[in-house]
Chain A
């Protein structure tokens, strides 16, 4: 640790940001492949681009898990850090990319939209997201955040004939840029008061105690607000339902998981490394002496307490009255952001571990659910109403079973990953004495269970009223759905492995210095 490397050196660059490098170089190569395949048949072109993207993501996951995971917390050129925490979240986001790419092969074919740019943007979005989570410099954070966001704005607007897609993408763009502007204003104030853009140096300055509180608090609030837009926390959530409903279903699944993971990950990094350093556990004597550790705690904890509560209540309550399944899942994703925020408030090791576990589990179940939604849809927006799901259990038994599994996991019922994830974050909150918040959280997840189970009820207990014809099912989508389903069940039955890995990851957060 404390291994700061300032000189530019290709070998170190490969060591620390190998995942990003693979994705960026592969993205550039994909542009070439797209040009080479220009003359070929649409079908062949789409399949080639899709499978190449899947391969790229798989290679990236392999590299991240086998090579970068074992690095001992290195900071490269003061902007990128390779620590287990960043690598864990990078793997979560790349898994989301992998599953999304596998489903996209079928999705694009069903919608008659075989376009190479789609995969290129997807690869660059994940590259940006990994850069975002690895960066320890606010400048780098802003730039990589924009790489990720710009790619996703374009992907959300990918259905060019659909006004829904365009309107949703535009709202996302407007509020996303508004959020970036708020974030930047906060960064400017931080720069002015601490004289640095690096979050570790900023932490040293803040723990020195020689700062005026109000500007730091304003900056903190602005940076938090900027990230809350990406995390879709109430009251910064107003874009979420529109964007999730309008965007292509697979991209919605990707947005709801990868972008949320990136936003939560970087938010926790800024919070626990930059503003309220968790230095006590890092055991570094020179820091342990300056006891200004959680001086900002009294300010941010009540704010996140209320936002988490509001997210859980508003997300779950409004989801009950939705008739479109994608919109319902959008409100449920707001509620899930609230549950994850409970783990952040706990601000202990268990809470952070719980959030990491939650992000992984949520990625599997949410992308899985959107995958089934796109299959039942056939063409985008043909069968998205909850009414269309009546009686589907007898027409498409396997798809209905998978959807039921993912919905049960999201509701947080026992044999699935969703239950364990909720258990971890609430247990962490109770350990820190947040009984009321945990109790209200459990109450809201009971409300949540109502609308998740209502879909299952409609599928199995009701007669069908409308003929729903699903689109052709592509093999890679089936593989992706099966992987997601097995993951959800496996993590529900044997969570210890992932939990111990997540615990290692959250411990390394204390060592980014």
Chain B
């Protein structure tokens, strides 16, 4: 029998890995991937709790989170593509122009 707290530990570790990646990486694709990692850890958390609680709502929430993650990826990557279009002409190490 696998105990619930093991699932929760895995999920907590995955979430913190995502936070670490988000805070430290500079590549914007990597930052987006870190957010996906965080969402996956939330999904694991919910699915495990739902299973051990003998309740289905948590897994319904997982279903919705996956749907929203898809929509978010579409918008986010759309912005990445337009952002890249604007920077294609000039090579820039760092896209940051808004400062202060």
Query: Do A and B touch (CB < 8 Å)?
Result: yes
Query: With an 8 A cutoff between CB atoms, is B17 at the interface?
Result: no
Query: With an 8 A cutoff between CB atoms, is A139 at the interface?
Result: yes
Contact, CB under 8 Å: B31 / A174: yes
Contacting residues, chain B, for A185 (C-beta < 8 A): 15, 38, 41-42, 45
CB distance from A79 to the nearest CB of B (A): 12
A161 interface neighbour in B32, B53, B86, Cβ under 8 Å = B86
Contact, CB under 8 Å: A191 / B58: yes
Contact, CB under 8 Å: A160 / B82: yes
Contact, CB under 8 Å: B95 / A146: no
A170 interface neighbour in B55, B72, B79, Cβ under 8 Å = B79
Contact, CB under 8 Å: A181 / B35: yes
> B residues 55-85 with Cβ under 8 Å of A?
55, 57-58, 60-61, 64-65, 68, 71-72, 75-76, 78-80, 82-83, 85
Q: How far, in angstroms, from A156 to B29 measured CA to CA in the complex?
A: 20
Q: How many residues of B contact A (CB 8 A)?
A: 42
Map CB proximity to B onto A167-179 as digits: 1 under 8 Å, 0 otherwise. Answer: 1111101100110
Q: Which residue of A lies closest to B81 (CB)?
A: A166
Most chain B CB inside 10 Å of its own CB: which residue of A163, A170, A188, A324: A188
> A residues 292-323 with Cβ under 8 Å of B?
321-322
Q: How far, in angstroms, from A189 to B42 measured CA to CA in the complex?
A: 9
Query: With an 8 A cutoff between CB atoms, is A260 at the interface?
Result: no
Query: With an 8 A cutoff between CB atoms, is B97 at the interface?
Result: yes
> A residues 130-153 with Cβ under 8 Å of B?
139, 142-143, 146, 150, 153
Contact, CB under 8 Å: B98 / A195: no
> A residues 375-419 with Cβ under 8 Å of B?
none
Contacting residues, chain B, for A197 (C-beta < 8 A): 57, 61
Chain A interface mostly helix, strand, loop or mixed?
helix
Q: Which residue of A lies closest to B48 (CB)?
A: A192
Contacting residues, chain B, for A187 (C-beta < 8 A): 42, 61
Q: How far, in angstroms, from A171 to B32 measured CA to CA in the complex?
A: 11
Q: How far, in angstroms, from A160 to B87 measured CA to CA in the complex?
A: 12
Query: With an 8 A cutoff between CB atoms, is B24 at the interface?
Result: no
> B residues 1-31 with Cβ under 8 Å of A?
8, 15, 18, 22, 28, 31
Q: How far, in angstroms, from A235 to B67 measured CA to CA in the complex?
A: 30
Q: How far, in angstroms, from A173 to B81 measured CA to CA in the complex?
A: 14
Q: How far, in angstroms, from A36 to B75 measured CA to CA in the complex?
A: 26
Q: How far, in angstroms, from A166 to B77 measured CA to CA in the complex?
A: 12
Contact, CB under 8 Å: B86 / A153: no
Contact, CB under 8 Å: A181 / B39: yes
Q: Which residue of A lies closest to B68 (CB)?
A: A146
Contacting residues, chain B, for A195 (C-beta < 8 A): 53, 55
From A238-246, A273-281, A430-438, give the one contacting chain B. Answer: A238-246
Contact, CB under 8 Å: B98 / A139: no
Contact, CB under 8 Å: A191 / B49: yes
Query: With an 8 A cutoff between CB atoms, is A157 at the interface?
Result: yes
Contacting residues, chain B, for A178 (C-beta < 8 A): 22, 35, 38
Contact, CB under 8 Å: B100 / A327: yes
Query: With an 8 A cutoff between CB atoms, is A164 at the interface?
Result: yes
CB distance from B12 to the nearest CB of A (A): 9
Contacting residues, chain B, for A241 (C-beta < 8 A): 98, 100
Contact, CB under 8 Å: A245 / B98: yes
Contact, CB under 8 Å: A163 / B87: yes
Contacting residues, chain A, for B85 (C-beta < 8 A): 160
Contact, CB under 8 Å: A142 / B75: no
Contact, CB under 8 Å: A163 / B60: no
Query: With an 8 A cutoff between CB atoms, is A154 at the interface?
Result: yes
Query: With an 8 A cutoff between CB atoms, is A501 at the interface?
Result: no
Contact, CB under 8 Å: A191 / B61: yes
Contact, CB under 8 Å: B80 / A170: yes
Query: Top 6 closest A-B pairs, CB basis?
Result: A192-B49, A242-B98, A181-B38, A166-B83, A188-B45, A163-B86
A-B contact pairs, 7 of them (CB 8 A): A139-B60, A142-B64, A142-B68, A163-B87, A191-B46, A191-B50, A197-B57
Additional pairs, 5, CB under 8 Å, beyond known A167-B95, A168-B98, A191-B57: A164-B97, A167-B98, A174-B76, A192-B49, A241-B98
